[in-house]
A and B are shown apart, each in its own frame.
Chain A
Amino acid sequence: MRAVADSQWSTVKTASRVIAGSAPPPLQQLFMNNPPTTESFEQLAIPLLPSLLRHALWLTQNEAEAEDLAQEALSKALRAFDSFAQGTNFKAWIFRILRNTFLTTRTAIATTRTSLFADAEEVDALTDTSATPEETLLQLDNAATVQEALIQLPPPLRDCLLLCDVEELKYKEIAGILDLPIGTVMSRISRARAALRTQLQPHFGGRQ
């Protein structure tokens, strides 16, 4: 249906505009002086497939949905690749498309429905006074426990933290992907870590 194609297009059209300005990683510098081709898309996208799928898994918490989501995002990105601003960060660009594609799914709407969330005004107001530094010095080697704690985080906090710690994206790139001010990204990362500490408190190592 034509109508469907048009609306899908609308989810990717702003990506290159928002991500523009991010510093290009080395692989992309190879393509800076060349016009975008389907081969260059393939070369840029294939190394990112594990990351895209992993993030899709975190977003959907379902293997089949995650595969469909990553597939749809890649199709949209390929169609929109002509509009990708050469020299900007391809990873941030394609993650934004993944994110926007996810927002149109029923799962995303259901997630929004069940998670009431308000951003804090100030990062500085996030001081966690419940634990002393000695208590929060982690000695965790049980990644499954941390994974469980991550699943329990409110999705808006978890998304920011995963993009920062797992995907190693810069705050500015995360802000572009999630369409948020950088201050909100910082605040969410701080809140996510504070929430993780609280959840993991029983698993922390012994006092120093």
Chain B
Amino acid sequence: MISEHLQPGHIDAFADHELPSDQARVVQQHVTACHPCSLRLLSTIELKKVTAEAGRRLDPSPAMLARLTARLQQNVSAKPQPKRVLSFQRANFLWPALAAALLLVTISLATWSVRRTHNALSAELLDQHLATLSAASTPQVLSTDRHTVKPWFEGKLPFSFNLPEPNALPPGSTLKGADLTYLGDHPAAQLLFAVGKHQVSVFITQQSSGSPAATSRSGYAVRTAAAGDLRFIAIGDVDAPQLDRLLASLTSVQ
């Protein structure tokens, strides 16, 4: 006598061939004796089949496919081939040198990897800031009112932050709007400020998202501050102290 029916998650995993063999056997035995569960399983298998058919209806056109194939082949032929490596069997005499070199490379690589991550973040910050300077770019929320800008992010970010009163911002600084964006695949708020006649972006992310190593990039100053679990990164073509003052006004209200 079967007292409990299978959970939907188990039925789905069974239909997707994702259950370990022992659990799959239990499900199999259960459905042979339980009519409602066997119907649920049939339903899931049928739904899976029609989903696959429907999903494949959105098929690329042959012309689209041909263009992509041609461009791929073009790119492949343009990329230089890697040189063939020396056979390890013929290079026994190189082992001691290789071991020493490997140690050196490992240490360098660890340092380089950290630097590269931070440099990539600086580059991404600059990209995102430059994108907002374009005349065609309109912020997703266009407002100088902190009571409009802050609530707009509710439900869009996995964290919350406060904005200072307009008179608590450094003199000459005004909030212009905000965008929802991503930094290193992490969601972030991008606040847009006018500082005098210059535009400054302040990115707010969680501390775990990392911070840029550089204090300037391509002529733009980059400054970082932290408050609680939040990291604030300001970028703009103004003096670093002006960015620091702007960041201080933001971190003071968190």
- A→B interface (CB under 8 Å): 1-7, 9-11, 13, 35-39, 41-42, 45-46, 49-50, 53-54, 57-58, 63, 66-67, 70-71, 74-75, 78-79, 82, 100, 103-104, 109, 112-113, 116, 123-124, 126-128, 132-134, 136-140, 143-144, 146-147, 149-150, 161-162, 164-166, 168, 170-171, 179, 186-187, 189-190, 193-194, 196-197, 208
A3 → chain B closest CB, angstroms? 4
Residues of B contacting A136 with CB < 8 Å? 39-40, 43
Residues of B contacting A164 with CB < 8 Å? 16
Residues of A contacting B42 with CB < 8 Å? 137
Cβ-defined partner of A166 (8 Å) among B51, B67, B85: B51
Q: Given that A113-B140, A128-B8, A166-B51 are known contacts, is A82 also in contact with B82, CB under 8 Å in the complex?
A: yes
With A and B bound together, what is the CA distance between A72 and B10 in angstroms? 38
B20 in contact (CB, < 8 A): no
- Chain B stretch 36-63: residues in CB contact (< 8 A) with chain A: 36-37, 39-40, 42-44, 46-48, 50-61
- A71 touching B39, Cβ below 8 Å: no
Residues of A contacting B185 with CB < 8 Å? 11, 100, 103, 179
B33 in contact (CB, < 8 A): no
Given contacts A7-B127, A133-B35, 12 further A-B pairs with CB under 8 A are: A6-B124, A7-B123, A38-B79, A42-B76, A53-B64, A63-B60, A103-B182, A109-B182, A124-B9, A143-B57, A147-B55, A190-B9
Residues of B contacting A66 with CB < 8 Å? 60, 64
With A and B bound together, what is the CA distance between A171 and B9 in angstroms? 13
Residues of A contacting B60 with CB < 8 Å? 50, 53-54, 57, 63, 66-67
With A and B bound together, what is the CA distance between A9 and B53 in angstroms? 35
B13 in contact (CB, < 8 A): yes
Secondary structure type dominating chain A contacts: helix
- A45 touching B72, Cβ below 8 Å: yes
A27 → chain B closest CB, angstroms? 16
Q: Given that A54-B60, A190-B8, A196-B47 are known contacts, is A133 also in contact with B40, CB under 8 Å in the complex?
A: yes
Nearest A residue (CB) for B37: A133
- A54 touching B44, Cβ below 8 Å: no
Nearest B residue (CB) for A124: B7
Residues of A contacting B119 with CB < 8 Å? 6
- B68 touching A144, Cβ below 8 Å: no
With A and B bound together, what is the CA distance between A178 and B1 in angstroms? 41
With A and B bound together, what is the CA distance between A50 and B57 in angstroms? 12
Residues of A contacting B16 with CB < 8 Å? 164, 171, 189
With A and B bound together, what is the CA distance between A151 and B214 in angstroms? 43
Cβ-defined partner of B120 (8 Å) among A9, A196, A197: A9
- A104 touching B53, Cβ below 8 Å: no
With A and B bound together, what is the CA distance between A189 and B85 in angstroms? 45
A116 → chain B closest CB, angstroms? 5
- A112 touching B53, Cβ below 8 Å: no
B180 in contact (CB, < 8 A): yes
With A and B bound together, what is the CA distance between A54 and B85 in angstroms? 38
Residues of A contacting B76 with CB < 8 Å? 38-39, 41-42, 78
Nearest B residue (CB) for A117: B155
